[in-house]
Amino acid sequence: MLDSGSAPSRTTTVRGTRRQSASVGQTERTLTRNQLLAAKGSSLADALERVPGVASLKTGTVAKPVVNGLHSQRLVVVEDGIRLEGQSWGAEHAVESDPSRAERVVVVQGGASVRHGQGAMGGVVVIEPAPADHAGISGEWIASLRSNGPQAGSSLRLTGPVPHAPRWAWAGSVSWRGSGDRSRPDGILPNTALREGSWSGTLERHGETVTAQASHSVFWQHQGILSSSHIGNLTDLRTALAKGSPPDTATWRWSVGRPDQAVRHDVSRLRVQGDHQSLRWSALAGWQSDHRREWDLHKPIDSRLAALDLPELDYSLRTGTLDLEIEPHLDGNWQWRTGIQGIHQENEYDGRAFVPNFRAVAGGAWSVVALRRESWSVDAGLRADLHSLEIWRRVAGKVAAWDDSWLATSWSLGWLWHPSDAWTIRSAIGTGWRPPSAVELFADGLHHGVAAIERGDSSLGPERSLTAQSSVGWKMPNSVHLQASAWVTRIDDFIFLRPDAAPRLTVRGAFPSFSYASDRAWLAGGDISASAPLGEAWELLATGSAILTRDDEGGPVPFSPASRLRLGGDWIPARSPRFSGRVGPRLEWIAKTDPVSNDYAPPPDQVFLVGIEGFAETGRWRISVRGANLANTTWRDPSDRLRYFAAQPGIDIGANLSRRF
């Protein structure tokens, strides 16, 4: 069940039977149609920032969602039923998904480990592409422009029935976007140009009781890494850390230069599902291939190697998954769903050894029972997982092997109550876990994507979490809409990057140094969203999220997101059958975070940012506009690991134009 006010502004055709990702006690938030349109000119993380309780972890040009203070391997991203695995390489790698393909994006806040397995301690982001159209040819074309870069992009999605085969339908999409170097208020962010694209194809057959679907999608990206973060000696590095940036000698470029990284992410899916008199069932097999290459700032000294222009880091991550689920048709108000999941994953590297070769094999079984009444619902879930990890690395010229396995259980309890049509009250409690990754165990050396030296710790064990959350929603027609939630999470053996006492000098330059460590962590927070009409033509808006993190010694967790509050007001012109729209200013406050021990720079000060948002729709045409940091304020994000070297981008005005047909 979706929260009040979270449903899309129009209904969508459901492909097969959508599975509920959350417990009835968890908060689910769905991006509105207009928020989703705004996302299609940028990244998924940028769009999700509009959802209360969701922030972005920024690393230069890379951004990824943070839900309830957790991200990366603690947040599961599911696209068209497949759990995306690119983040297995580390926290700075973005979600490898193109938002232009999405028809619906849902954020499940809080642990969802029973349904989605290890790593879903912070929540789940569910990305659903548009379903295939069996009735006739339809689609959508989108064009986007942004001033900071500048950036331009376009996408096209088409779908329709297969000729002379009424039970068959097809769908396809293609997109591209690119930008030059982005700019901060007082200069250029050197080497932050971007190239990105995707394509996908789907073939689907609807039978009377069984539906089958095969699809393949490709996402590729080539982007520069802030070159001013790569510094040659310790003296210049300390000067840059003290001033907040190296001397600015950059000139704007459209091309991507060194250091840079390129990634290609392929996903193949085969889904079969049925709905019979006694039960519903589904089977989903997936295959993912991630190929990532990273080039350092300087080419090898050997001219023969330099002429080959080979990447210093070259990873290939291959993942196979299988998901089986059944749901018997029970009498009365009872519902029971159960399933099994399996995964086989291998990583191979070439070039410099940073992430070792590894193989992961895992399997899990889960079950959820729910009782749904007219005014209240309860559910309970239980899951068991077995995960094994084998790692091979070269030590003193010889191959050394390491392996371990973990058996863990997860459970959840949820409760929902509708005391009246206007009120919705939820509560949930549940556990989760995740094993340490190969990066956290054996990372060794320069990670140029974040301009840092990182060292793993092979003694790290699995994380285990306990999360409790509650939310309340109130919605009256033509009146105030309010939704507020609070949550607290305890994670035992929480794994994090701890700044070392001093930076390090290597043959590739001088860099901040970090080591993986673990401690018990507490995360607590809350979020609120509210809207209130002000006459017939105006509406006041407010969203905010607060977060507090602490370790066992009372210190903050490094690189945690800051608390935020966003206020706005929209002018809504008179609606008509041919036109609707709204536009208004936004004011955002980002709080100052607590200082972290041995950090290389103090936390950024609080900041106020000015923006504007709006949309208009007439017939099949829609346009969204957004202006960010209109006052061109210099500010830094506390979660950005490149904040030591550069501020966030300055003024950015963008627009997306869409036509459905």
**How far is the first Cα of the chain from the last one, in angstroms, to the nearest whole number?**
30
Nearest residue to 8 (alpha-carbon basis) of 122, 130, 138, 115: 130
Tokens at 51, concatenated: 């959802």
Burial (CB count within 10 angstroms: exposed 0-12, middle 13-18, buried 19+), residue 271: buried
Q: State the pLDDT at residue 93.
A: 67
- What distance in Å separates the CA atoms of residue 40 and residue 47, rounded to the nearest whole number? 8
Long-range contacts of 591-594 (CB under 8 A, 24+ apart): 591/562, 591/563, 591/564, 592/562, 592/638, 593/556, 593/560, 593/562, 593/638, 594/555, 594/556
Per-residue pLDDT of 145-191, as tens digits, reads 999 989 999 999 999 999 989 899 999 999 999 999 999 998 899 99
Polymer length in residues for the chain:
661
Q: State the pLDDT at residue 156.
A: 95
Per-residue pLDDT of 83-115, as tens digits, reads 988 765 555 666 788 877 888 888 888 888 888
Range 382-398 burial, b when 16+ CB lie within 10 A, else e: ebebebebbbebeeeee
Nearest residue to 355 (alpha-carbon basis) of 390, 400, 315, 395: 315
> Quick check: is 421 in a domain?
yes
- What distance in Å separates the CA atoms of residue 322 and residue 325, rounded to the nearest whole number? 10
Q: State the pLDDT at residue 102.
A: 82
Whether 501 shows a pLDDT value over 50: the answer reads yes
Tokens at 419, concatenated: 């005391």
Q: State the pLDDT at residue 268.
A: 96
Nearest residue to 75 (alpha-carbon basis) of 61, 59, 104, 55: 55
> Quick check: is 12 in a domain?
no
Q: State the pLDDT at residue 304.
A: 65
> Quick check: is 408 in a domain?
no
- Local confidence band at 15 (pLDDT 50, 70, 90 cut-offs): very low
- What distance in Å separates the CA atoms of residue 115 and residue 83, rounded to the nearest whole number? 12
- Local confidence band at 342 (pLDDT 50, 70, 90 cut-offs): very high
- What distance in Å separates the CA atoms of residue 187 and residue 586, rounded to the nearest whole number? 25
Q: What is the CATH number of the domain that holds 635?
A: 2.40.170.20
Q: State the pLDDT at residue 349.
A: 85
List, as one string, the DSSP characters of 45-82: HHHHTTSTTEEEEEETTEEEEEETTB-GGGEEEEETTE
- What distance in Å separates the CA atoms of residue 429 and residue 329, rounded to the nearest whole number? 27
Whether 234 shows a pLDDT value over 70: the answer reads yes
Q: State the pLDDT at residue 206.
A: 92
> Quick check: is 13 in a domain?
no
- Local confidence band at 8 (pLDDT 50, 70, 90 cut-offs): very low
Q: State the pLDDT at residue 11.
A: 32
- What distance in Å separates the CA atoms of residue 154 and residue 177, rounded to the nearest whole number? 6
- What distance in Å separates the CA atoms of residue 77 and residue 503, rounded to the nearest whole number? 34
Per-residue pLDDT of 566-625, as tens digits, reads 999 999 998 788 898 999 999 999 999 998 888 888 889 999 999 999 999 998 999 999
Task: Give the global pTM.
Answer: 0.88
Q: State the DSSP H helix or E strand holding residue 243, giving kind and residue range, or none if neither.
A: helix 234-243
- What distance in Å separates the CA atoms of residue 400 and residue 356, rounded to the nearest whole number? 11
> Quick check: is 282 in a domain?
yes
The strand ranges marked E within 296-375 are: 313-328, 334-351, 357-372
Residue position matching structure tokens 């520069």: 224
Q: Is the separation of the CB atoms in 513 and 447 below 8 Å? A: no
Radius of gyration for the alpha carbons in the chain, expressed in angstroms and rounded:
24
Q: What is the mean pLDDT of residues 120-148?
A: 91
Q: State the pLDDT at residue 43.
A: 73
Q: State the pLDDT at residue 170.
A: 96
Per-residue pLDDT of 513-533, as tens digits, reads 999 999 999 999 999 999 999
How far is the CA of 254 from the CAs of 40, 58, 152, 223, in angstroms?
A: 21, 21, 12, 11
Number of domain units in the chain: 1
Percent of the chain with pLDDT over 70: 93
Q: State the pLDDT at residue 640.
A: 83
Determine the structural domain holding residue 65 and report its residue range. Answer: 27-316+324-395+413-660
| Phi, psi (deg, nearest 5) at residue 271 | -120, 130
DSSP-derived 3-state class of residue 504: strand
> Quick check: is 649 in a domain?
yes
Tokens at 644, concatenated: 């030591």
Please name every residue paired with 290 in a beta bridge, in sequence order, or none if there are none.
265, 317
Nearest residue to 78 (alpha-carbon basis) of 25, 13, 126: 126
Upper half-sphere CA count for residue 31 (Cβ side, 13 Å): 27
Task: Please provide the average confidence, as pLDDT, over all residues in the chain.
Answer: 87
- Local confidence band at 336 (pLDDT 50, 70, 90 cut-offs): very high
Q: State the DSSP H helix or E strand holding residue 301, giving kind and residue range, or none if neither.
A: none
Q: State the DSSP H helix or E strand holding residue 441, giving kind and residue range, or none if neither.
A: helix 438-442
Q: State the pLDDT at residue 644.
A: 85
> Quick check: is 7 in a domain?
no
> Quick check: is 22 in a domain?
no
List, as one string, the DSSP characters of 545-594: EEEEEEETTSPPPTTPPPPEEEEEEEE-PPPBTTBEEEEEEEEEEEPPPP
- What distance in Å separates the CA atoms of residue 227 and residue 490, rounded to the nearest whole number? 38
Per-residue pLDDT of 33-51, as tens digits, reads 777 777 776 777 777 877 7
Least confident of 61-75, 156-170, 471-485, 631-645: 61-75
Q: What is the DSSP letter of 39?
A: H
The strand ranges marked E within 352-375 are: 357-372
Q: State the pLDDT at residue 45.
A: 75
Q: What is the mean pLDDT of residues 53-77?
A: 79
Whether 126 shows a pLDDT value over 80: the answer reads yes
Q: Is the separation of the CB atoms in 547 and 69 below 8 Å? A: yes
- What distance in Å separates the CA atoms of residue 458 and residue 607, rounded to the nearest whole number? 39
DSSP-derived 3-state class of residue 298: coil
Whether 82 shows a pLDDT value over 70: the answer reads yes
Q: Is the separation of the CB atoms in 594 and 553 below 8 Å? A: no
Whether 22 shows a pLDDT value over 80: the answer reads no
- Local confidence band at 246 (pLDDT 50, 70, 90 cut-offs): confident
Neighbouring residues of 514: CB distance < 8 A, sequence distance ≥ 6: 452, 453, 454, 455, 497, 498, 499, 500
The 10 Å Cβ neighbour count of residue 637 is 23
Q: State the pLDDT at residue 264.
A: 93
Please name the residue ranges forming H helices in 519-637: none
Q: What is the mean pLDDT of residues 323-328?
A: 95
Whether 426 shows a pLDDT value over 60: the answer reads yes
Whether 16 shows a pLDDT value over 60: the answer reads no
User: Which one has a higher pLDDT value, 236 or 133?
Assistant: 133
